[in-house]
Structure formats: C-alpha cells, structure tokens
Amino acid sequence: ETGVTQTPRHLVMGMTNKKSLKCEQHLGHNAMYWYKQSAKKPLELMFVYNFKEQTENNSVPSRFSPECPNSSHLFLHLHTLQPEDSALYLCASSQDTSFQETQYFGPGTRLLVL
C-alpha cells in the first residue's frame, strides 16, 4: 500500500448506529487531518493531529470523535449521526502542520446517514 488509504470506501448507517472510519498513511508523515466534503462546498477541516497530539477541533459536534493512536493511523468514530452528516470524509497527511502546502489525501469514505 502506498500513500494514504481509507476504509471503508462506502458506508451506510442509521442514526442510532456506531461506526468508525479508518485512515492509514504510508508516507512517514507526522500530521494527519480529517476533512468533510459536501457537494459544492469547500472542504471543511474537522480535526488535526500533529505528532499524535490533537491541535485543532474545528467546532465539530461531539457525535464525531477522533482517535490517533500513532502518527500513521487516524480514526473517526461516529455515533448518533444526523442525515446532514452525509458527505465524503477525507483523510490527509503532511510532514507536519508546518508543511500544510503539501497535504496528501486519501480516496475518502462516502457516508450516507439514513
């Protein structure tokens, strides 16, 4: 595996379910990011981790809970989501947060909340 991988690629869940998104980067980077991409809207930064420490929580509702066990892995735990949370969730990495001009993205998880 190379670059940034994300699983699952597609996810359908009910509002009462609990699920997790996984991201793994094989680039030796130290910063990892979660973004939400909705149709015709700019990417919305959700969370940032730098050297495993969370450095940004962009006013994200508590139904989204990130976890970064090491610099290569990032999770997004989901529970009691709303239909408006349906979107493409993208993971990205960079050398560290001082090098945000070279972020590398994974393919995303397409989430549908019913």
Partner 1 sequence: QKEVEQDPGPLSVPEGAIVSLNCTYSNSAFQYFMWYRQYSRKGPELLMYTYSSGNKEDGRFTAQVDKSSKYISLFIRDSQPSDSATYLCAMSRTGGFKTIFGAGTRLFVKA
DSSP helix/strand/coil, 62: coil
Q: Does 7 participate in binding partner 1 (rule CB under 8 A)?
A: no
- Candidate segments 12-20, 52-60, 63-71, 73-81, binder of partner 1 by CB under 8 A: 52-60
* CB contact at 8 A, 108 and 6: yes
Q: Does 50 participate in binding partner 1 (rule CB under 8 A)?
A: yes
> Which C-beta is closer to partner 1: that of 42 or that of 83?
42
Contacts of 57 (CB under 8 A, 6+ apart): 46, 47
Q: CB atoms < 10 A from the CB of 29, how many?
A: 20
Near partner 1 in 79-98, by CB under 8 A: 90, 92, 97-98
Near partner 1 in 8-47, by CB under 8 A: 40-43, 45
* Cα–Cα distance measured from residue 96 to residue 27, given in angstroms and rounded to the nearest whole number: 11
Q: How far is the CB of 13 from partner 1 (least distance, A)?
A: 19
What is the C-alpha R_g of the chain? 13
Contacts with partner 1 by CB under 8 A lie at 4, 6, 40-43, 45, 48, 50, 55-56, 58, 90, 92, 97-98, 100-108, 110
